[in-house]
Amino acid sequence: MTPPNITPPPLRNDCFALPAGVNWTPVDEALEMLRSRLTVVTSVETAQIGQASGRILAEDVLAKRSNPPQPNTAVDGYGFSGAAPEGPQVIPLQDGRAAAGIPFDGVVALGNALRVLTGAALPDGVDTVILEEDVTVQDGHIAFHGPLKQGANTRKAGEDVAEGEMVLPAGRRLTPADVALLSATGIAEISVRKMLRVAVLSTGDELVEPGNLAGPGQIFDANRPMLLSMIERLGFEPVDMGRASDDREDLRDRLDRSAAQADVILTSGGASAGDEDHVSALLREAGAMQEWRIALKPGRPLALGMWNETPVFGLPGNPVAAKVCTLIFARPALGLMAGEGWSEPQGFDLPANFEKRKKPGRREYLRARVRDGRVEVFASEGSGRISGLSWAEGLVEIQDGACHIVPGDPVRFIPYGSFGL
């Protein structure tokens, strides 16, 4: 199967523009704007089924063969034709047997039974199977107690998937189970989206690489290793673009190289409007910058723009806010651009094991985990407490309005696994 040589159109420079007069953007509105304005940016290639796990289908896949391909037995036992009435049954046993991959060469006479093994194609004259544990074999006959309905312990041809039916839809990110299903229906190669390349760039003179000497006022770069790991775990191709200093020409060069090597750029730091917030400044100079002030905690400033026709997500520099913004905003956007469609994380209502008073105005995400069926939250809401990201196993989402949560109240817990981590 040769995929068409299709290159998606580039995104417009104004795709992130906010409506006139908009200042604070509620989370749901921000998500809907991203969903409506972004599009697939990856092209198509062919992959062998053995290397397809984790890839995204570019088109619907139809079964080349039914599964099962023919009626077969679901158990080891004895096959015959028709239902067995209630009471003791004695049936003569015909010579031979049917096994998986070794069909019976002949016809089972009406009123006779044949030895059959699990997975064997049903011979002509067999449509019902009695489990061997329920049978006594003696003197060329089998005996068992009925009743047994016609078709018992058998599988119909195509009862799982019929030839020509859609096996999996376009946009599906393939799991190992999907690979098994495709293989069982005769699929050897498929059309998939090329992996979305996501460049990750840290900014700021205060950052140094872990392992290097940190001077006064400097900190180790935690964002870039975290984001690169997240991108890989989410099924995209991470592109490490290192760290840019607080020098606009250095940052401009890094953005140029990122746009040449990737489909999307994630930066951390420099997304606000201060003197050293160079990401925002350069995007604004390029005429394709929007600073979305999201009604979100932690987070708030999210710089969105285009650089050389490549979307840029300017994340906050704080690692806690950077991770939350990546999960809530970048994760579904990256999935859409990669060709798997827009995904919303699955949350679960569970009783709280904490108390929390919240003012109206912003949606909040608390680092959380579940123990004994109840949701715990990290002891501090401080955005600088990176240890809370490691401690947590997901997020508690608290909606925009005011609330007072007490132990036992239901809260929405979103495990990291729901995002694909």
Mean pLDDT of all residues in 228-246? 94
Taking only the tens place, the pLDDT of each residue in 283-341 is: 777 656 566 678 888 876 777 888 888 988 988 888 999 999 999 999 999 999 999 99
Q: Is pLDDT at 20 greater than 50 in this prediction?
A: yes
Instruction: Say which range, 6-15, 200-209, 256-265, 328-337, has the weakest mean pLDDT.
Output: 6-15
Q: b/e for 1-28, b at 16 or more Cβ within 10 A?
A: eebeeeeeeebeeebbebeeeeeebebe
Taking only the tens place, the pLDDT of each residue in 144-177 is: 999 999 999 999 999 999 999 999 999 999 999 9
Q: What percent of the chain has pLDDT over 70?
A: 90
d(CA 330, CA 338): 12
- Per-residue pLDDT band at 1 (split at 50, 70, 90): low
Task: Count other Cβ atoms within 10 Å, centred on residue 214.
Answer: 14
Q: Is pLDDT at 210 greater than 90 in this prediction?
A: no
| The CATH number of domain 348-419 is 2.20.25.160 | no
Full-model pTM: 0.84
Mean pLDDT of all residues in 119-141? 96
Taking only the tens place, the pLDDT of each residue in 400-417 is: 889 999 999 999 999 999
Domain 72-155 fold: Molybdopterin biosynthesis moeA protein; domain 3 (2.170.190)
Q: Is pLDDT at 272 greater than 90 in this prediction?
A: no
Q: Phi-psi bin for 146: left (phi > 0), alpha (psi -120 to 50), beta?
A: beta
Mean pLDDT of all residues in 119-129? 96
Start-to-end Cα distance in the chain: 32
Taking only the tens place, the pLDDT of each residue in 73-83 is: 999 999 999 99
Rounded to the nearest integer, the mean pLDDT of the chain is 89
Q: Is pLDDT at 236 greater than 50 in this prediction?
A: yes
The residue ranges of every structural domain in the chain are 24-43+197-338, 72-155, 348-419
Does the bond joining 332 to the residue before it have cis omega, within 30 degrees of 0? no
For domain 24-43+197-338, the CATH superfamily is MoaB/Mog-like domain (3.40.980.10)
User: What pLDDT is recorded for position 283?
Assistant: 74
User: What pLDDT is recorded for position 216?
Assistant: 85
Taking only the tens place, the pLDDT of each residue in 26-62 is: 889 889 988 988 999 999 999 999 999 999 999 999 9
User: What pLDDT is recorded for position 275?
Assistant: 45
User: What pLDDT is recorded for position 316?
Assistant: 86
125 or 12: which leads in pLDDT: 125
User: What pLDDT is recorded for position 126?
Assistant: 97
3-state secondary structure the chain: CCCCCCCCCCCCCCCCCCCCCCCEECHHHHHHHHHHHCCCCCCEEEEEHHHCCCCEECCCEECCCCECCCCEECCCEEEECCCEEEEEEEEEEEEEEEECCECCCCECCCCCEEEECCCCECCECCCEEEEHHHCEEECCEEEEEEEECCCCCEECCCCCECCCCEEECCCCECCHHHHHHHHHCCCCEEEEECCCEEEEEEECCCEECCCCCCCCCCEECCHHHHHHHHHHHCCCEEEEEEEECCCHHHHHHHHHHHHHHCCEEEEECCCCCCCCCHHHHHHHHCCCEEEEEECEECCCEEEEEEECCEEEEEECCCHHHHHHHHHHHHHHHHHHHHCCCCCCCCCEEEEECCCEEECCCCEEEEEEEEECCEEEECCCCCCCCCHHHHHCCEEEEECCCCEEECCCCEEEEEEHHHHCC
Alpha carbons within 13 A on the beta-carbon side of 158 = 9
